[in-house]
Structure 1
Amino acid sequence: MDVTKLRRAVARTRLAPVAAFPKRLARVARHDAKLLRTSARWLVTSREHHNYTYELTRLSRQHLAWFVSVVCDVPVKQVRAWFQEIESDDALRRHIEQATAGAQRRGLADREVRYARRIGWYAIVRATRPALVVETGVDKGLGSCVLAAALLRNAAEGHPGRLASLDINPEAGYLARTAPWSEVVDLVVGDSIASIEALDRPVDLFLHDSDHSRAHEKREFDTVEARMAPGGLLLTDNVTHTNVLADHAERTGRRFLAYRETPARHWYPGDGIGVAW
C-alpha cells in the first residue's frame, strides 16, 4: 500500500486524531512562533501602549478600497487615488512627526506615521463632501488630522466643511492644534453625549471612537440620530467588538456594511470600520 492510500485508510479509523496530531502541532507552533517574533520586535521598537498604529497588508488595502467604493458609490480607482493622496501628503506627515517628537507624551508615541484604516475615513470624507463631521474620541489627534486634511482638500475644490472633535480629556488632540489643520477643527472638551446634544447644525458624518462599551456606543448613536442630515453617514470604530451600529441601522432603516482591517507586521489583530447609510 502506498503512502497516500495508507493515510486515507488511517483517516477512516479511530487512530485518525492521533495520527493527525503531529501535523496539527507543527502548524500551531509555526503560527505561534511567528506571532511571538512579531510581538518581541514590537516590544523593542515601539512605544505605543494603546491606539496602536500600523500599515495594512496589501490585500487589506484592496478590500478597504472596495468597501469605500460600495458605501460611497464611487469608482474604486478614485478611492485608490484618495488613498495615495493622503499617504503622499508630506506636509501632514512632517507635522505629525515633529509634533509627536515635541509632545509631552512622546514617550508613549511612535514618530513613524502609519494611518491604517484611517485612509478609509479620509476617502469617505473626500467622497461625501460633508459640511459637518463629528468624531467622538480624539486621543493624540491622528484621526482628526486625517479628517481635517480631507476637509481642507474638499474646501480647495469648493466644498468647505468642519470637524467637531469631542473628547473628555483636555489634553487630547495635540496633533490637531496646528494650522492649517486646526483651521477646520473644533476641539470640544466634555462628555460626548452632552456635546452631541449641544450641536446646533445637522451632522453629515458621525464617527464613534470614544468609550467602546456597548451602552455608551448605543447612547451616542441614539443621541445623534435626530441631528443627522438627510443622507448622513454613521461610522463606528468599534465594529469588530459590538453589533451596536448594525442594530441601529436595522431599527432606522439604513444599510450597513463592516470592514475588518489586517495589520501588516504587527501582533494586534486590527480594528475596522462599520458604516450605516
Structure 2
Amino acid sequence: MTTLLSDPVRTVLDRLFTASDRDDDLELAFPDGATSQEAADALADVYMPVSASAGELLYALVRSSRPETVVEFGTSYGISTLHLAAAVADNGTGHVFTTELSAVKVTAARSNLDEAGLGDHVTILAGDALETLASVPGPVGVVLLDGWKQLCLPVLRQLEPRLAPGALVLADDTNLPDLAGYLDYVRDPANGYVSVHFPVGDGVEVSCRA
C-alpha cells in the first residue's frame, strides 16, 4: 500500500483528474505577445495536468531515487505535485519545492495539498521560477519541468549547478513544438545527460545528469 493509493490522496487526485477532463477540448497556446504572468492569469482556470500514467512514473522515480530535494516548474492545481509529495512522504525523507505564477492556482494547489494531508512536504514558490528557484538549496535530485515549454531550458540551465550527480530531470508534453529546443539540448551527450523518451501521456523525457 502506498500513500498515492490511499485516502485522502486518492480522493483528491480523482476529483482533480475529473475536473481536468474538460481541458481535452481546449486548444491551449501561449497568448501572442503576452508575458508569462499575463499568460498564467489568462489560463488560471485551466488545469494542464500530467496524465495519470505520467504521475505514476513521477511517483516511482522519486521513490526509487530517494532525493532530498525535488524541484517542480509549474504547479498548476497540484496534480503532479501530489504525486511528488506522496513519494517524498512514503520515502520518509526529502522535500518538494514547486513554482507557480498564477495566484489563483497557488491558492488552489495549497488547498489541495492540505486536503490530501501532504502540505507539510511541499513549499510552493509563488512568482517567476527564474527568480524563486534561485533560493532552492542543492543538491537537487529530481526536477519536473511542466511549466511554459519555452522556459524549460532556461529553468534547467539555472538549476544545473545544483543538480546532484545522477539527478533525474523530467519534462512533460514532449509532443509540443515549444519543447524542441529543450529536447535537442538534453539529447546531445555533450551537454551531460543520458536522455530517453517515455511514451506515457503526451510524452515524458527522462534525462539523467551524467
TM normalised by structure 1 equals: 0.56
Secondary structure at the aligned position of 1:275 is classed as: strand
Indicate if the aligned counterparts of 1:245 and 1:276 stay in contact, CA closer than 8 A: no
Question: Could you report, residue by residue, the CA deviation over 1:25-60 in whole angstroms, capped at 9, with x for unpaired residues?
Answer: xxxxxxxxxxxxxxxxxxxxxxxxxxxxxxxxxxxx
Distance 1:178 1:162 in 2: 18
Equivalent residue for 1:274? Answer: 205
TM-score, normalising length from structure 2? 0.72
Task: Say which SS state the counterpart of residue 226 (structure 1) adopts.
Answer: helix
Q: How many angstroms apart in 1 are the aligned matches of 2:15 and 2:174?
A: 32
1:189 counterpart residue number = 126
Provide closer, same or farther for how the CA distance between residues 200 and 100 of structure 1 changes in structure 2, counting only shifts above 3 A: same
| Distance in 2 between residues matched to 1:98 and 1:271, nearest whole Å | 21
Query: 1:239·1:271 contact (CA, 8 Å) conserved in 2?
Result: yes
> Residue by residue, what CA displacement relative to the aligned partner does 1:220-244 show, whole Å, maximum 9, x if unpaired?
1111111111221111013222341
Q: Does 1:247 align with 2:185?
A: yes
Q: Provide Cα deviations, 1:11-34, integer angstroms capped at 9, x if missing partner.
A: xxxxxxxxxxxxxxxxxxxxxxxx
Does the 8 A contact of 2:16 with 2:79 survive in 1? no
Unaligned 5+ residue runs, structure 2?
19-44
Would the alpha carbon gap of residues 119 and 179 (structure 1) be closer, same or farther in structure 2, given more than 3 Å must change?
closer
Determine if contact 2:84/2:96 at 8 Å carries over to the other structure: yes
Bigger proportion of residues as strand: 2
Match of 1:151 in 2: 88
Match 1:227 to one of 162, 170, 175: 162
Q: CA deviation at 1:203?
A: 0.9
The match for 2:104 is 171
Cα shift readout 1:181-239 (whole Å, capped 9, x = no counterpart): 001000110101112222233211111100122xx122111111111112211110132
RMSD: 2.6
Structure 2 counterpart of 1:237: 172
Q: Tell me the distance in 1 between the aligned counterparts of 2:166 and 2:199.
A: 24
Change (3 A) 1:115 1:225: same
Q: Residue 9 of structure 2 aligns to which amino acid in structure 1?
A: L
Rounded to whole Å, the distance in 2 between the matches of 1:123 and 1:88 is 13
Amino acid at match of 1:118: G
What is the percent sequence identity of the aligned residues?
24
1:8 alignment counterpart: none
Q: Say whether residues 1:91 and 2:28 are aligned partners.
A: no
In 1, Cα distance between equivalents of 2:5 and 2:117: 17
Q: d(CA) in 1 for partners of 2:7 and 2:102? A: 29
Which residue of structure 1 aligns with residue 199 of structure 2? 260
Cα 1:162/1:138, change in 2 over 3 Å: same
Q: 1:116 aligns with which of 35, 38, 53?
A: 53
Contact 1:100–1:109 under 8 Å retained in 2: no
- State the Cα distance separating 1:109 from its structure 2 match: 8.2
In structure 2, distance between residues paired with 1:122 and 1:100: 16
Contact 1:258 1:272 in 2 (8 A): yes
Q: Give 1 or 2 for the bigger CA radius of gyration.
A: 1
- Tell me, which stretches of 5 or more residues in structure 1 are unaligned? 1-83, 102-107, 262-269
Structure 2 counterpart of 1:247, one-letter code: Y
Is the CA contact 1:221–1:248 (under 8 Å) kept in the aligned structure 2? Answer: no
